[in-house]
Chains A and B, each alone.
Chain A
Amino acid sequence: MVKPEKFIPKAVEKISKEIKDGRAIIALSGGVDSSVCAELAHRAIGGRLQPIYIDTGLMRKGETERIKHIFSHMNLDIVYAKDRFLAALKGITDPEEKRKAIGETFIRVFEEEARKLEADYLIQGTIYPDRIESEGGIKSHHNVGGLPSVMDFKKIVEPIEDLYKDEVREVAWALKLPDEICERMPFPGPGLAVRILGEVTEEKLEVAREANSIVEEELLDRFCPWQTFAAVIGKGTGVKGDIRAYGWIIAVRAVGSRDGMTAEALELPWDVLKKLESRITSEIPKVARVVYDITPKPPATIEFE
């Protein structure tokens, strides 16, 4: 296991040495990996670090405001790019194509900001499993070989490339980052887009965002899942107020895991499942039914896409 008290000063020193008197940028997502990198780099080079947060419009409810507040001491550059991401996703239904469209749009937006800022160095939150998975072709991580391939930097600095996720969390605690960062549930890079089966539309996004918020409120503190969320998986017939309604089907997912590599569905009490169904169908009028996914990983992945 990593020893944060040794790791932190070493990492700060390494960043200082690599960047010297240059300027660096980092794509900050609010996840634990990029947050730890941003904090380490801020300690190393202070105001010569420019964190960029891109609001893709695919974020969870209140996410942008939360990040703005947490990183207010860092001169955070927030880019609102929802329209560009939705335009890039228009008509796309294939999961890999969606990821690709989001990744490419992210790179374009990031590139434009980076050019304005004239940074020499890119700091990335790549962790050890990202490297192994990308090398093996298991999963394309947009922070492994994504941004660097289209941009010219003197160097790409990866302060946590030898750490595992739980070790990054240990470092986050030691850096005294807020609990909501240290304990933050994994949230996919492509955001809510991978919790919407088929084409991503404004309507589906709104439904997914609200449903996710309800699921987190009901399950996070009480059951401490590794990950819990809601996905919009299609449409089905319902009946609301004596009228047949063709509405969205929401799948709820709540899993236990140590590292996200294998996972089991949580055995939620019946009254909890009923409350979830009741809240989702009453608070989101366009939802016709709610199902609970009990499939472990493998054979399923944790996310739907």
Chain B
Amino acid sequence: MKELKILVVNNYGQFCHLIHRAVRDLDMDTKIIPNTTPIEDILAEEPDGLILSGGPEMDRAGLCFDYVREIDLPILGICLGHQAIALAYGGHVHSGKKGGYAEVEVEVLEEDDILRGLGPKATVWASHADEVAILPEGFIHLARSDICEIEAMRHPTKPIYGVQWHPEVSHTEKGEELLTNFLEICEKY
């Protein structure tokens, strides 16, 4: 795979720098940017894709809603980034009945491009109290767990994907594969 430029949008999650590290270790050009970076500055960097990191609260998600609606690039939302995508397209987010912490077994409903090679079940690591409660209209439900019904999703037509778990942490099984899948999506786009 050729070297791609991937911008990691910092939503102030504790694992943000691990996304940068994981992508860098896949031999990509990567950089962490504040979630207040204007869209024109992002486009001036000529990135091949964006990854929206997790974070503590939606109030600090900066311009993420604008990014996912207006930037024509592959986008992967992780944890809060996944929830931001859902909200930006009219979905609903609420507190889960149970928080998802540490080891969670995810059932892959549809592999699509993003979860290729991860099914039928994968052990992942999560850290969230909130979750996507209702999918945005037309979005495709890709994975679920006993903790959280909407663990992964994708936009019906655009290369926009969300996962509730953290593929960037070392305890997630096949986290690198998921990120590699995203990079392949970016390369093809």
Residues of A within 8 A of B (CB): 1, 128-129, 132-133, 135-139, 164, 257-259, 261-262, 264, 296-299
Give A147 to B20 CA distance when docked, in angstroms.
27
| Given A257-B170, A299-B101, A164 and B21 contact (CB-CB distance below 8 Å) | yes
Q: Are B16 and A136 in contact (CB under 8 A)?
A: yes
CB distance from A156 to the nearest CB of B (A): 21
Give A262 to B127 CA distance when docked, in angstroms.
10
Q: Are A136 and B12 in contact (CB under 8 A)?
A: yes
Q: Are A262 and B171 in contact (CB under 8 A)?
A: yes
| Given A1-B25, A258-B170, A296-B103, A132 and B32 contact (CB-CB distance below 8 Å) | yes
Give A273 to B98 CA distance when docked, in angstroms.
31
User: Inside 8 A of A138's CB, which chain B residues have their CB?
Assistant: 12-14
Give A153 to B74 CA distance when docked, in angstroms.
45
Q: Are A299 and B102 in contact (CB under 8 A)?
A: yes
User: Inside 8 A of A258's CB, which chain B residues have their CB?
Assistant: 170
Q: Are A262 and B170 in contact (CB under 8 A)?
A: yes
Does B38 lie at the interface of the complex (its beta carbon under 8 Å from any beta carbon of A)? Answer: no
Can you list 25 contacts pairing A with B, beta carbon distance less than 8 Å? A1-B25, A128-B17, A132-B16, A132-B20, A132-B32, A133-B14, A136-B10, A136-B13, A137-B12, A164-B17, A164-B21, A257-B170, A259-B170, A261-B14, A261-B15, A261-B170, A262-B166, A262-B170, A262-B171, A296-B101, A296-B102, A297-B102, A298-B101, A298-B102, A299-B101
Does B99 lie at the interface of the complex (its beta carbon under 8 Å from any beta carbon of A)? Answer: yes
| Given A298-B101, A299-B101, A132 and B10 contact (CB-CB distance below 8 Å) | yes
Residues of B within 8 A of A (CB): 10, 12-18, 20-21, 25, 32, 55, 99, 101-103, 125-127, 166, 169-171
Give A208 to B15 CA distance when docked, in angstroms.
30
Give A295 to B170 CA distance when docked, in angstroms.
17
User: Inside 8 A of B12's CB, which chain A residues have their CB?
Assistant: 136-138
Q: Is the interface of B mostly helix, strand, loop or mixed?
A: mixed
Q: Are B101 and A259 in contact (CB under 8 A)?
A: no
User: Inside 8 A of A262's CB, which chain B residues have their CB?
Assistant: 102, 125, 166, 169-171
Closest partner residue, chain A, to B32 (CB atom): A132
User: Inside 8 A of A299's CB, which chain B residues have their CB?
Assistant: 99, 101-102, 127
Closest partner residue, chain B, to A128 (CB atom): B17
Q: Are A261 and B102 in contact (CB under 8 A)?
A: no
Q: Are A264 and B170 in contact (CB under 8 A)?
A: no
User: Inside 8 A of A261's CB, which chain B residues have their CB?
Assistant: 14-15, 18, 169-170
Give A133 to B56 CA distance when docked, in angstroms.
12
Give A129 to B14 CA distance when docked, in angstroms.
9
Give A264 to B103 CA distance when docked, in angstroms.
9
Closest partner residue, chain A, to B15 (CB atom): A261
Closest partner residue, chain B, to A260 (CB atom): B170
CB distance from B21 to the nearest CB of A (A): 6
Give A139 to B20 CA distance when docked, in angstroms.
18
CB distance from B95 to the nearest CB of A (A): 15
Give A135 to B35 CA distance when docked, in angstroms.
12
User: Inside 8 A of A128's CB, which chain B residues have their CB?
Assistant: 17
